[in-house]
Structures are given as C-alpha cells and as structure tokens.
C-alpha cells in the first residue's frame, strides 16, 4: 500500500508543476502583449522591419559607335566629392578622418577643379563655405565636385586631404564633346537613377540602349541586412545593345572644324552642313552651329538642324521644279522667254538682279537662277502637278530617318502667285534631310532613297544584329533623260561663272549643284530686309560623272562674304574626294599623286622618292626595308599628305605629331596598333609621349586635339547672288 501512496504523491507534484509552468507562460504572454517587447527588442518594430526588400539592378547602357567602331557615347564611372566635417569620425589624431585644415583643403580642391573641369563655376570661397558649415556630418562639394572622372578622382586622392572621400556612380560620357551632338543627342539620369535618352539617337533608340533592369529580392532584418540562411531571388539585368552610326569620324571632323572656324570668324544665327552617301542614303557627317557638349548640356536650342529646321529653301528648289516640268512634258530647254520680271495678278516676280538678262533660253535661265523662268514653268504645269511632284520627292512628309520629332515642312499652295513662288522655293518650307532625300534621285537614275543615320544595332552580349539598315528605295521620280539633263544643268550652274555658285568650283573632283538665297519671314508679316537677312544654301553632288556623295549646306544671317562658306564647302568636297579615292585625275593632274607600292623596297630610298613627289613620308621603326605601308598602292593623294612606311625594325620612336589632323594621328595609331585616347577634335596640340621617345605598345598614349581650320577661309567680299 505504501507504494501506491508514493505514486499518487508524485502525480500531484507533477500536476502542480504543469500548472505553475502554464501560469508563467500566460503571465509572460500578457506582459509581451502589453509591452510588445522581449529582451529589450520591440517585437512590433522587428516584425515590421523583417520585410521583403526588392532592389533594382540597373542594366549597363549600350555604347554608341561611329561607322568605324570609334566610341562616341558610353557609360563610365563617375564620382562625387564629399567632405566629412564631424570631428567624431577621427579616433586617432595621427590619422584624421575629417577635414582638419579647411582653408588648405578648399585651396587645393579649387586648383584641381579649375585645371580639370572646363565648366568649373566654384571659387575657393564657395568650397570653403561648404566646408565651414556647422552641425553637418558630411557635405557634397558640388557642382564642380559632382560627376568627376577617374583621373580627377586620382589627382584628388594624391593630395591626401583628410576627410575627403568619394561616392561612386555611373554617368553617360561623350568622348568627343560636341562632335555630332545633335545627331547623337544626350542621356542623363532620371529621378529613379536610370540613365535615359532625351535627344537624338540616345532618345530614338532608348529602348535598345537601355537594356532591361534586373532585381534582387530578399528578407531583411531590423537593421537592413539580409537575414542569414534565407533565400535571395535575383534576376540579372540585361545590358543595353550597342548602336553603330553611319557617321564617319574623319568626315565629321572636317565638318565640325570647318563650321567652328566660320563661326569664330563671322557672325551668323545658325549654320548646318551634311554629307550623305548618294548611293545608299547613309548620312556620313552632319554638323551645325550652334551645337552643344552633351557632357555639360550647354544647349541653346533643342531643335535638331538636320531634321527640325524647316525654312523656305529658296532657289535650291529650282532643281526640283525644273525636274517637275521635264517629267510633266512642259520643258524645252532651248525655248526662249523674256527674263527680268513677270506680272501675276497684282504681284510682280523679279529675277534677283531686278532686270534679268534679256531673252534667254530656259536652260540659261536655270544657270542664271531665274525666278521668272521657274514661275513660267510652274504656270505651264499647274499647281496640282507641281505639288504632286514635290510630294513624290518627299517634301511635306517625314523621311523616317532615325532621329526624333522630325519636321514635315509645308508644301501647301493654291493660288497662281503661290504656285509661282513655290517653284523658286518661296512660301513653302523644307528641311535639310528632305532636300538630301530628293537629291538622291539624281545619283540613282531617278529613284529616291530613304536617308538613314544608323547602320545597325547589336546585342552587346551575343553579337546578334537586332536592327539593320540598308539602301531603301522610296519612289521612282524621274526618267534617265531628266536625270542626265539635270546633271548637265547643275554642272553649268557651278562652272559657267554666272552666279555665286562659281565659288563652289573644285579641282580634284567635279562638283555640281545649285545655290539658294531665301528671304526670312518677319514676325510682323512680309520678309525681313537688309543685306544679311537671308538663308544662303548650296545643294550639290559629286563627282559629276557618277555622283557618289551629296553635300547640303545652309546658313542663316551670315554677316560675312559668301565666298567664305563656298570655299569652305569646296575644300571639304576636295578632301572627301581624296579620302574616298574618287579624285578626277583629268582635272589639275599636277596636284594629284597616285601612290605606288613601296613594300619590300629600301626605306631610305623610298622616303626620298616620296618627299620628292611632295608627300610627307613617315618612317616607322629602325629597319632598312619597308614591310607595310598606309595608304595602299593606287590611293590618290594631294601634296603634303602623309604616307606611313613600316620598316622591319622593332624600335618605334614617337614622331613629332603636333599639328597633325585627327584623321592623320588616328591612321598612324591604327596602323601600328598603338592604343591612343583622344580628347577634343581637330588637330593635335598635346601628346603624353615626347617626340623621339620609344613607343611601348602596352601603354596608352593620350592625345589632345584642338580646333584649327583656316585652310578654306577667305576675307574677300565679292558678292554674286543667285
């Protein structure tokens, strides 16, 4: 029986223990319910913070290249300079972690900013004021300290300034500054930190360039860290595609330098010049003034000149009104008419000299740029047919080139005087790109081509071509007979010497074309008056025998001689003719030098022969035999052009390259596989390697280019209008 009593006693104690344990738990739970706290941790706050976090993983924006693979726009690391002001950061006086000497720090940072940042707007006092603020733990040193490059960051780091640090980020960088800026456009960070295009190619192809952002998602604790042993879900970003333009940097640089020199010398409102491949419609170069630097966004106008400047074209439109007359069967070039004036209703149309040239043929009327001739032909044809032909050429509609917000222009006319005016480019508006599209008909047996400025878009990871451009025929607008007649008439315009078009004559290639002088509408009605209130233009093709290239130039309110812009254009045309090996050796053959083959010849002898021909021979290496050359045999060169001769010696010395053009230094570096980085455009003004120093191909040579383009300018004031 004792055994039974003991068992009962044990069960009672067990039950009491259970009751006590549950009582303790209930009391504890009641305490937690009231205080929401365990071990000094607020459970309500902890639970709220123990949340799922989703962070964006930004894709790297694609790179924009020219047609030869030169980088024009890319993402680079950038930095913001910050200064720690709180003394509590410093625990070791011998190793301060805050700004100690504010005056000295401000002075040194100002020196760096002034030397490296062209748009530096901060004074030493501005920096000192930021460093002297009370009660702040840290401060950003903007604006000059924002978006600095790796090189500037390293220069600041070398100063060993206590308390100065950096925040790393990414920015869009345009290596060649305002090079083709309106075509390339710009991209910048939006409110979410995403880089997005806002103009030009950067905007038009933003979806391709942006790629697809990824994300990472995980559980975080109260302190913002991922909770251990919890999974993270990550979707990796897909980097943006690369865009290859049709722009040729060599041609583009010629245009940029030419316009820069003109604008430095003369006042004007704006100027634009474009070179296109007449056989494909590809834009090889397009420059304008004013332009802007996408790195600093010093933009005065957000309109792209090539596609958004819509203005009265003036007499360049006679190319197309005369073609319209031919195609509609109302043109007889040998027919005569009385030039000078033509009465239409109450309005009198006048030739540019007010008196004309007496009784002349319509062919002569084109050479003289006779408004009366164009008006008479329009009246014969009728407004409906003229308008239909203009629209067939593409006027009044967007061309579809890969640039945003293209203007359509206007070709609406109804009454007799409007029809007559439209025949010589008044009362209608066109854009440069529309004129270029219409000119392609003269190079393609009467077929117009769609212009384009992007060659292809390539997946940056796989190399897959996502978008590809090619020659695209738009419309058959003229017969072979009309095309050949227009070529002859446009040649006569330039080479007859009857108008200001004579200034566009060239030696190395036969340039054909038509000038234009358009009045500028006044805000108060009618047109502006005065010697300079015109838009001057030139629309041309070369070579005459089989046009390969189109050139279109226009300039508004030029305060200077027309001969300056004419000589500029003709000089560019000659340079391109040589660069593209289409120079006409039947013209001024003494100025053209066909290059021979010098491979496997004696280096010294070859150098002497080339110098005797008037060429600039550059020997590379210390060998005695030529093993390679650039340019190749058969290239047509002009006097003083450079020929690079690679010898069988491996000791390469840096030549004296100051004054070399951008294309010359790039050809040299590419020829010997030398890594070179370029800053600016134009001509070499500074090189990181001294002349006659040994070249180490493992190192990168830094080359600074500056503007210099006086070759095609003139100060003569002789004027002949069209």
Hey, which residues are catalytic here?
A: 315
Placement of tokens 């009362």 in the chain: 427
> How far apart are alpha carbons 29 and 193 in whole angstroms?
46
Burial grade of 505 (CB within 10 A; 0-12, 13-18, 19 or more)? middle
CB crowding 479-495: b at 16 or more within 10 Å, else e: eeebbebbbebbbbbbb
Here the tokens at position 674 are 């030398």
CA-closest candidate to residue 681, choices 696, 695, 663, 657: 663
Contact by Cβ (8 Å): 491, 544: yes
Q: Torsion over CA of 422, 423, 426 and 432, rounded to 10 degrees?
A: 100
Kindly report the number of other CB atoms within 10 A of residue 555's CB atom. Answer: 26
C-alpha dist (Å) from residue 124 to 106, 136, 273, 680: 6, 20, 42, 27
The DSSP result for 27-80, as a single string, is HHHHHHHHH-EETTEEHHHHHHHSEEEEEEEPPPPPPEE-TTS-EEEEEEEEEE
Would you list the DSSP string of 565-603? HHHHHHHHHHHHHHHTT---TTSSGGGEEE----TTSBH
The Cα 493–Cα 544 span in angstroms is 12
State the angle between helix axes of 249-265 and 562-579 in degrees (0 to 180), rounded to the nearest 10: 160
C-beta separation of 527 from 312 below 8 A? no
Is the backbone peptide bond immediately before 239 cis, with ω within 30 degrees of 0?
no
Is residue 539 helix, strand or coil?
strand
Beta partners for residue 456, in sequence order: 244, 468
CA dist 192 → 53, 124, 189, 259 (Å): 17, 32, 8, 38
CA distances 648 to 198, 517, 652, 698, Å, are 51, 57, 10, 19
Tokens coding 660:
């070399």
φ, ψ for residue 442, nearest 5 deg:
-75, -20
| CA-wise closest residue to 105 among 169, 64, 61, 156 | 156
DSSP state of 238: B
Q: Where on the phi/psi map is residue 477: left (φ > 0), alpha (ψ -120 to 50), or beta?
A: alpha
Full strand arrangement of the beta sheet holding 51-57: 51-57, 214-220, 233-235
Question: For residue 377, what are the CA distances in angstroms to 327, 363, 419, 487?
Answer: 12, 12, 10, 19
Residues 460 and 62 sit within 8 Å (Cβ to Cβ):
yes
How deeply is 384 buried, as exposed, middle or buried, from its count of CB atoms within 10 A (0-12, 13-18, 19+)?
A: exposed
Cis peptide before 290 (omega within 30 of 0): yes
């Amino acid at each position: 029986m004792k055994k039974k009593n003991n068992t009962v006693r044990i069960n009672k104690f067990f039950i009491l223990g259970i009751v006590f344990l549950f009582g303790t738990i209930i009391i504890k739970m009641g305490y937690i319910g009231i205080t929401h706290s365990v071990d000094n941790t607020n459970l309500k706050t902890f639970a709220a913070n123990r949340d799922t976090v989703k962070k964006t993983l930004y894709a790297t924006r694609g790179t924009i290249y020219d047609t030869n693979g030169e980088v024009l726009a890319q993402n680079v690391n950038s930095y913001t300079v910050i200064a720690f002001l709180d003394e509590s950061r410093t625990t070791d006086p011998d190793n301060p972690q805050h700004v100690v000497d504010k005056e000295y720090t401000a002075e040194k940072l100002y020196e760096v900013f002034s030397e490296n940042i062209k748009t530096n707007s901060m004074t030493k006092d501005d920096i000192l004021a930021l460093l002297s603020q009370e009660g702040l733990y840290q401060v950003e040193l903007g604006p000059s300290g924002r978006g600095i490059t790796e090189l500037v960051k390293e220069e600041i780091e070398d100063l060993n300034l206590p308390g100065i640090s950096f925040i790393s980020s990414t920015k869009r960088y345009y290596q060649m500054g305002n090079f083709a800026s309106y075509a390339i456009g710009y991209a910048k960070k939006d409110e979410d930190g995403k880089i997005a295009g806002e103009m030009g190619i950067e905007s038009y192809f933003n979806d391709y360039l942006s790629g697809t952002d990824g994300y990472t998602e995980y559980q975080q604790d109260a302190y913002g860290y991922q909770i251990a042993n919890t999974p993270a879900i990550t979707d990796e970003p897909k980097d943006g595609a690369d865009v290859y333009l049709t722009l040729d940097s060599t041609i583009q640089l010629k245009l940029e330098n030419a316009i820069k020199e003109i604008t430095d010398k003369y006042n004007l409102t704006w100027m634009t010049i474009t070179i296109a491949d007449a056989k494909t419609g590809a834009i090889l170069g397009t420059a304008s003034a004013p332009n802007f630097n996408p790195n600093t966004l010093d933009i005065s106008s957000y309109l792209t000149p090539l596609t958004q400047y819509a203005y009265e074209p003036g007499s360049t439109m006679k190319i197309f009104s005369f073609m319209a007359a031919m195609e509609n069967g109302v043109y007889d070039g040998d027919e005569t008419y009385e030039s000078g004036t033509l009465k239409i209703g109450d309005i009198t149309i006048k030739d540019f000299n007010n008196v004309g040239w007496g009784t002349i043929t319509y062919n002569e009327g084109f050479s003289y740029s006779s408004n009366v001739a164009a008006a008479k032909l329009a009246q014969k044809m009728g407004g409906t047919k003229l308008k239909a032909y203009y629209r067939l050429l593409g006027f009044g509609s967007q061309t579809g080139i890969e640039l945003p917000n293209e203007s359509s222009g206007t070709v609406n006319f109804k009454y007799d005087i409007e029809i007559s005016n439209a025949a010589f480019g008044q009362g209608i508006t066109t854009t440069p790109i529309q004129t270029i599209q219409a000119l392609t008909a003269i190079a393609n047996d009467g077929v117009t081509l769609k212009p384009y400025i992007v060659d292809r878009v390539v997946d940056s990871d796989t190399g897959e071509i996502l978008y590809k451009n090619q020659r695209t025929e738009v419309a058959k607008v003229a017969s072979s007979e009309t095309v050949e007649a227009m070529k002859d008439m446009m040649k006569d315009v330039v080479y007859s010497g009857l108008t200001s078009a004579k200034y566009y004559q060239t030696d190395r290639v036969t340039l054909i074309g038509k000038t234009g002088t358009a009045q500028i509408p006044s805000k108060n009605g009618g047109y502006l008056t005065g010697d300079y209130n015109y838009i001057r233009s030139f629309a041309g093709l070369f070579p005459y025998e089989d046009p390969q290239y189109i050139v279109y130039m226009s300039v508004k309110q030029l305060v200077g001689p027309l001969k300056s812009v004419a000589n500029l254009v003709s000089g560019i045309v000659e340079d391109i003719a040589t660069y593209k090996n289409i120079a006409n050796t039947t013209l001024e053959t003494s100025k053209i030098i066909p290059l021979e083959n010098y491979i496997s010849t004696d280096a010294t002898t070859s150098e002497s022969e080339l110098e005797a021909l008037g060429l600039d021979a550059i020997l590379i290496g210390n060998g005695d035999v030529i093993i390679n050359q650039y340019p190749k045999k058969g290239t047509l060169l002009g006097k003083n052009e450079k020929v690079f001769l690679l010898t069988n010696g491996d000791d390469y010395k840096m030549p004296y390259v100051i004054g070399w053009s951008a294309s010359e230094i790039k050809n040299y570096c590419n020829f010997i596989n030398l890594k070179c980085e370029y800053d600016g455009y134009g001509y070499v003004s500074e090189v990181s390697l001294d002349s006659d120093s040994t070249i180490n191909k493992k190192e990168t040579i830094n080359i600074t280019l500056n503007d210099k383009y006086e070759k095609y300018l003139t100060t003569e004031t002789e004027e002949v209008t069209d």
